[in-house]
Chain A
């Protein structure tokens, strides 16, 4: 008889069926997981392309004039922006506003688990985890822009985080501020490089303003004192009119030699062509052009160019003349050729001015530098009355000027800084290679960082010790000159209308020290020179004239007591060969729902690299004479007004030293008295509005008062009792949180420049204001990141296009 199934058998059978079904259940979702993984990988691949494209983009963190902001300082930690902002490595590219990848707050990143604790280890090593803003990577300076919606942003993309694995290698840096940013660049021909020293009209310690408008001739102060005569000749240059009665009417100045008197007359009111030659202003300009030409010709003769040869040049002979002047085979002549390059730059510019005030027949016949009526043109004992300048000579001088500049740049190379690099030509790279010297002792200094009342109260440090690696060029810098930021004068003490080496030094509190670079005076800047001051450097002879006895004494003082700025060229490794494993790094992508935490938007922004913040270098003050030298007090930089002036006319849209999340920072605290507050985020327009009004503050640890931005309620209780500076700093740093899910602010409140709807926003959905969102998970929860993919790459060694 057949026995029926027992209950045990049936139960066992059911168990088997259940196992099968459960197995089936377990298998089926794996398909979804696989597809999710495929999605993540596709998105990661797209973003990896974007990151590579961003790094390729030459100047990832640099805005329109950021490169100009990288002024010279006294110490390496002054004003350096490009050190980090233009660093060519991937992480520096990522932590800029140009892209759409932002650093994840560390508090959030620390809650994420990953295989082998890779994320934790990265964070421990100082790296950051990045997330992608849910907006198109438009590569503007404000990539987190306000005009596109995130509504259609693929939800998987919100979960992707990325980090760079592997340490950055020794890459190039663009400038070494404690030396000089380089040879500068100039158009050829142009007048002597000059500027208007107007230190931003910042109130100084006297409560007055530092601003004044005396033109300052940098070429004379930093390259060659004789150039001052080209800019504006000294009173012993005279001319004699046949009828002195004409003098007040025609040339109401004591002297008309040089660029400045001429340029002062030439202005927007200049009559249009054709103009009557009898116009008094026209005649004055004409005389000014002649006087400018005389001064330039005089300087050309001073540096070894002969008048007869110059006047005999023609366009056909110009190339041969120019090449002979910068022939590197004649090493003796070549050593001083930079002065002739400058001389021809000025002479060509001055002589071309004649073409505006003379007819073609006059120019063809030769324009007498004595003018019409002919007068004596005696400049410093040299008479130019009988000198005729022809159109052929003018053409030749122009050709010589441009050609000499190009030839000089080619022959001397980027490590010869006597004359500026010519802007006239299209070149890929015309910039010295530079890296940090990691083998020499660093430069160091201890500062009185805080003077009560100068800095906001949140700056509490009294003493700050700073250290910085020296720079390292592959070869010595020849004829380094002086940095334009510290030419050694700040005031027209002889009251001749311009600031130059002829102004007496030592009596004016407006003066500030010259930064002598070649302290051993051998014509080269190398590791033997000690241009970085210490407290042991004397206060005496702070503003000596280039090459004078005082100059020698001060240079010797620096040589004895200063610090070296450069390491030896033998430590330069930038061009050394390397193997792939030495420079190989990885982009690693993970997927994790980090926006699930309740505080994902209220967490402050990630820590910002302090290297992105410039510390402005000292500048002149008005009444504190003890600050006029590289002495202890100066190095101590107790007065903030000295620092306020270095970064001027800058814009806060410069993204090199900003919180990358700033465009999405909440303007108001996200909680008040413990109650979540729906804050609003910045608009691009608001951020840009900071610039014209409060532009200095960013660069000195201060921030603009954001409460005055029009729409903002100026209510103290809205800021938890914080004072303005502290509140501003907190906003700037994202302390009140960031709109990290990309909910878009419609720009209808504060920005006058209405943003038009764009076709990108196709959904037609009215996007809510940028409000504080909260995730479902408490902050105590942890989440596991699943690895998505890894990409291998090399960092660039040098920024792709330091000049564009």
Chain B
């Protein structure tokens, strides 16, 4: 009989060591696996949120739902709102009248100017139609100084050819105006939609210039286009009319701009310059606990943005850095998810719409904020989206 030999101490030690190696290896493996899975899951969650946020931003660029959706329609002025009629549209200018001010999603029908046969928005704008041809003095630049406007009719009263009003006082005598269609279309769009909508609706290369009548029924160009706040609390103004036509010589017969090309080609005719910095904004819904006064102020500020066309500084266009102010003002970051696990990143989407040098820009931001560290990650991009006009047509507003 062979008696079974017990394990030797050495064997036991080897076995234990091997066992520990195995256990240790497996433990390490599981630990690494757990960490990798955690990281993967974390990345996967972030990626899903990121992709969902991008999809939401792209969708928002088309749908405009952050600015106008059922239950949240801050850009639809409730009736009664002001009808566009006086020389300056009848607006306060600082948007203090935001509650009656037509907004970008206000139906045009009620606010349109009421003069002549052009008392409605005409979506056709046929280029061959003489009504759509510009009939102003495009060749002369009328500067303004702190003492006010100079006589804009020095080269004739062009307001008799086309005017927002049906009649104009020609040196004291009322005379009928040749055409009211184009001035009223411009006036109605500008005051009815705000500047973003104004440029959005205009056909390519439309002339941004028209005549109206002042309090004495004389021809005048509305100062709303001409005197624009560059930034809040700044009163420096720039003449916007015809600025694309002329070079800033400073040494002509008047010592100021005038009809001189200096071998420049006449070029910019439309809204390229005017759309230097034009945004569209809406106040997001009232926050829990937010006072009505604060909410109203946010609404007023949004309306002011829509009524502000930051000046095209012709030869130092971005020296005065008003754009950051506008860009920041357009920020309306909205959460991607209404509810989420506390461990998930907070995902938000922000689509800022503005015009920049003739380009429609839909600036999309998708942001993830880590719930533990607070570290933010963001992807920003621009994309093509539906125009305001398209969004309004989708809502049957025109």
Contact = CB atoms under 8 A, between A and B. Distances in A.
Contact of B207 (A153, A189, A410, A426): A426
Interface stretch (B40-48, B71-79, B85-93, B334-342): B40-48
Contacts of B271: 804
Given A49-B381, A196-B251, A36 B43 contact: yes
B379 A154 contact: yes
B321 interface: yes
Interface stretch (B187-195, B284-292, B312-320, B388-396): B312-320
Interface in B213-233: 218
B151 A28 contact: no
A152 B261 contact: no
Contact of B323 (A140, A155, A182): A140
B200 interface: no
Interface stretch (A550-558, A630-638, A681-689, A790-798): A681-689
B160 A355 contact: yes
B380 A21 contact: no
A423 B381 contact: no
A692 B256 CA distance: 16
Nearest to B28: A21
Contacts of B161: 395, 398-399
A473 B254 CA distance: 41
A155 B50 CA distance: 13
A45 B383 CA distance: 11
B172 A359 contact: yes
A804 B272 contact: yes
Contacts of B39: 32
Interface in A740-759: 747, 751, 753, 755-759
Contacts of A691: 315-316
Nearest to A180: B265
B155 A353 contact: yes
Contacts of B125: 426
Given A273-B153, A398-B161, A685 B321 contact: yes
A196 B249 contact: yes
A152 B376 contact: yes
Interface in A34-57: 34-36, 38-39, 42-43, 45-47, 49-50, 52-54, 56-57
Contacts of B240: none
Contact of B173 (A67, A213, A360): A360
A157 B379 contact: yes
Ranked nearest first, the 6 interchain pairs of A and B with the lowest CB-CB distance are A758-B328, A187-B138, A352-B156, A190-B139, A35-B43, A360-B173
Contacts of A428: 204-205
Interface in A464-501: 484-485
A215 B321 CA distance: 36
B138 A138 contact: no
Interface stretch (B99-107, B108-116, B352-360): B352-360
Q: Quick one: which of A264, A648, A747 has the most chain B CB within 10 A?
A: A648
Given A28-B33, A68-B247, A804-B204, A484 B154 contact: no
A64 B270 contact: no
Contacts of A59: 357-358
Contacts, number: 382
A417 to B, nearest CB: 12
Given A49-B382, A804-B272, A391 B175 contact: yes
Interface stretch (A10-18, A446-454, A669-677): A10-18
Interface of B: 2, 18, 21-22, 25-26, 28-29, 32-33, 36-37, 39-40, 43-44, 46-47, 50-51, 54, 58, 125, 127-128, 130, 132-135, 137-139, 143, 145, 150-151, 153-158, 160-161, 170-173, 175, 178, 202-207, 218, 245, 247-249, 251-254, 256, 258-273, 276, 312, 314-321, 323-325, 327-329, 331, 356-359, 361-365, 367, 376-384
20 contacts: A14-B21, A35-B47, A39-B43, A67-B265, A137-B363, A137-B381, A191-B139, A195-B261, A270-B154, A271-B151, A352-B157, A355-B156, A395-B160, A410-B128, A424-B134, A688-B319, A758-B324, A759-B328, A762-B376, A803-B270
B266 A185 contact: yes
B216 to A, nearest CB: 9
B266 A184 contact: yes
A1 interface: yes
Contact of A31 (B25, B37, B365): B37
Contact of B175 (A268, A272, A360, A803): A360
A300 interface: no
A425 interface: yes
Contact of B50 (A39, A57, A136, A751): A39
A356 B178 contact: no
A758 B384 contact: no
A356 B160 CA distance: 11
Contacts of A755: 321, 324
A287 interface: no
Interface residues of A, number: 140
Contacts of B204: 426-428, 801, 804
B382 to A, nearest CB: 5
Contacts of B357: 59, 63-64, 139-141
Contacts of B260: 194-196, 215
Given A32-B39, A57-B359, A151 B376 contact: yes
Given A17-B22, A356-B157, A184 B265 contact: yes
Contacts of B143: 268
A46 B381 contact: yes
A642 to B, nearest CB: 15
B317 A64 contact: yes
A197 interface: yes
Contact of A423 (B130, B178, B266, B377): B266
A50 B139 CA distance: 38
A190 B157 contact: no
Nearest to A157: B379
B207 A423 contact: yes
Contacts of A329: none
Contacts of A157: 379
Contact of B203 (A360, A426, A757): A426
Given A153-B378, A759-B328, A197 B262 contact: yes
A141 B317 contact: yes
Contacts of A398: 135, 161, 178
Nearest to B359: A57
B316 A692 contact: yes
Nearest to A650: B315
A184 B263 CA distance: 10
B43 to A, nearest CB: 4
A10 B318 CA distance: 76
Given A36-B43, A273-B218, A484-B265, 18 more contacts: A14-B21, A24-B33, A28-B36, A32-B36, A38-B44, A68-B247, A154-B379, A195-B261, A195-B264, A218-B263, A285-B154, A349-B139, A361-B173, A398-B161, A406-B128, A406-B130, A756-B325, A804-B204
A420 interface: yes
A244 interface: no
A424 B259 contact: no
B319 A689 contact: yes
Contacts of A47: 381
A688 B319 CA distance: 6
Nearest to A756: B325
Given A21-B25, A685-B319, A753-B319, A268 B254 contact: yes
B156 A185 contact: no
Interface string A237-253: 00000000000000000
A581 B88 CA distance: 55
A191 B315 CA distance: 26
B158 A152 contact: no
B51 to A, nearest CB: 5
Contacts of B44: 35, 38
A45 B55 CA distance: 11
A358 B156 CA distance: 10
Nearest to A322: B130
A804 B270 contact: yes
